[in-house]
Chain A
Amino acid sequence: MTGLWTLFYKELLRFWKVGLQTILSPLVTTLLYLLIFSHVMESHVQVYPGVGYTAFLVPGLVMMSMLQNAFANSSSSLIQSKMSGNVVFLLLPPLAYWEFFAAYVAAAIVRGLVVGVGVGLAGLWFTPVTLAHPLWMMAFALAGCAMLGAMGIITALWASGYDQMAAVQNFIIMPLTFLSGVFYSIHSLPPFWQALSHYNPFFYLIDGFRYGFFGVSDVSPELGLLIVGTCFLALSLATLALLKSGYKLRN
């Protein structure tokens, strides 16, 4: 297990050393969203009865920043190692492929949570936030970060360069998060888009996470967690299979 711990610690130290870019900058970006959207929308929209728009928005933004940063952590670390060639330092030692997986995902979770907590605390400054079901909230936070951490590994394994990485980030991850109900409830959407949103796993993450705050959700949290858990399991198995086969790493 020493190998796993070392890699986990190395991954933490990596993003910590460039905290300005990996923690502070996503924090500022998310707070700008909060500032602008709450200013423009607060008086116009009330998604759940008795919940102000800013209070509704904060959990959405927390989840969004967690997802994006969890993804960014594993993907950028691995693609950098691949491109610079220093991934050999991880390929030469007797690290098991599951240790490799666990360390990257765990570090992605930590980075996601650190940024998420930061956004959440800053959100408190804008609006009081209730916590109806903290355990549900934690469950969806962990599931979301873990899922995106695994997606980050897959993307970095597949990508042959930074442009392909950026393509996945901009054409898949960003639309999926933005269109998952961060800024709105899918009930406000036309029926077609509402139905389509149910095929977006990120929707369940944000919906379930919000349930942890307000006790209200579009889908029951049990079903949400089941769907999200299944997605995570499938992604993990896929990642493990890729790592075991040495896909684009050992060739």
Chain B
Amino acid sequence: MIPAIEFCEVHKRFGSLHALRGIDLTVERGEFFALLGPNGAGKTTLINILAGLSRATQGCSRVMGHDVVVDYRDARRVLGVVPQELVYDAFFTVREMLRFQSGYFGLRKNDAWIDELLHNLGLTDKADIYTRLLSGGMKRRVLVAQALVHKPPVIVLDEPTAGVDVELRQNLWEFIRRLNRDGHTIVLTTHYLEEAETLCSRIAMLKQGRVIALDTTHNLLSAHAAVQVRLKLNPNRLPDVLRPLLAAEKAGCFNLVLNDYSGLEVVLATLREASVVVDVLEVSKPDLEEVFLRIMGQAGKEAAR
């Protein structure tokens, strides 16, 4: 089966800046995929290339098998993009915007689907209001609706929950999940890693224009996750043997990072030997945020070498 999205050897240069350095990535149909990375890693550049908003310096990109340059009309028909910037047209109401967007995609009578979108995104009572008068969160919903007017099989959301309150975030994800269950391929970028962890089945991590990690969420968590231990000691001094494990020292507590739970045994034994009393002991389970920081840190060290 033709994959939903393919990038092969995609490079992008802005003058002397090498923003993308050979991205090879495939997203299969029906996946819920996350594109993670720090600011400036190239996530948005990659999405822009896919959407035809920018052109790759080298390499090819395809949506449902359609090349985004050669076969741009078919490629754009099967792609819906929610841009990161909160853009809107000051001249028009929500419904007008959605009707225009439908028309640009060649759809004449789309009001039934527009109504459904408005309903699902909680915008029904805002339909005839000028978009510029809506709050940031509402504008974001309008952007989502605009990206979906043509029922695209592949949906890309570039930081859709930035600046959006908790309730709306939940509603939005519920809706996106439903689309995914109905067979739409979803790609998202986000800085809320717990969102990526709960929603996405597969994750790519980008740093400085390269894919530095690509695996299922489960594998990433189990392969890279470390156990974090927070200790408050009496006397408050960490034995030198344990120094290499120290990640941070905060509010009189030591944060240690262990490779797995068996390391805990060693730590406790060492403390006992040193006659140090443990006042507080907290063990936190691995999460994506930590994996992310670890992978980014490793990539940084490798790049420095």
Contacts and interface: CB of A to CB of B under 8 A. Distances in A.
Interface of A: 2-3, 5-7, 9-10, 13-14, 17-18, 81, 84-86, 88-96, 246, 250-251
Contacts of A2: 103, 106-108
A96 B83 CA distance: 21
B76 A86 contact: no
Contacts of B215: none
B53 A250 contact: yes
B105 A250 contact: no
B81 A92 contact: yes
Contacts of A96: 73
B51 interface: yes
B91 A91 contact: no
Interface in B72-128: 72-74, 76-77, 79, 81, 83, 85, 87-92, 96-97, 99-108
B148 to A, nearest CB: 12
A6 B87 contact: no
B217 interface: no
A18 B92 CA distance: 11
A92 B51 contact: yes
18 contacts: A2-B107, A3-B103, A7-B100, A13-B96, A14-B91, A18-B91, A84-B88, A86-B89, A89-B87, A89-B146, A91-B53, A92-B81, A93-B105, A94-B72, A94-B106, A96-B73, A246-B55, A250-B54
B54 A251 contact: yes
B52 interface: yes
For the residues of A in contact with B, the DSSP-based class is: helix
A14 B97 CA distance: 12
Contacts, number: 81
B89 A81 contact: yes
Contact of B106 (A3, A9, A10, A88): A3
A88 B83 contact: yes
A90 B87 CA distance: 12
Interface of B: 51-55, 72-74, 76-77, 79, 81, 83, 85, 87-92, 96-97, 99-108, 146-147, 150
A189 B3 CA distance: 70
Contacts of A81: 89
A77 B150 CA distance: 25
A153 B203 CA distance: 42
Contacts of A17: 91
A94 B105 CA distance: 6
B154 to A, nearest CB: 12
Given A13-B91, A18-B91, A92-B76, A250 B52 contact: yes
A51 B91 CA distance: 44
Given A3-B104, A6-B104, A10-B103, 12 more contacts: A7-B100, A17-B91, A84-B88, A85-B87, A88-B83, A89-B97, A91-B52, A93-B101, A93-B150, A94-B72, A246-B55, A251-B55
Given A3-B103, A96-B73, A88 B53 contact: yes
Nearest to B81: A92
Contact of B88 (A10, A86, A92): A86
Contact of B103 (A6, A91, A250): A6
Nearest to B48: A250
B107 to A, nearest CB: 7
A84 B73 contact: no
A48 to B, nearest CB: 44
A25 B89 CA distance: 23
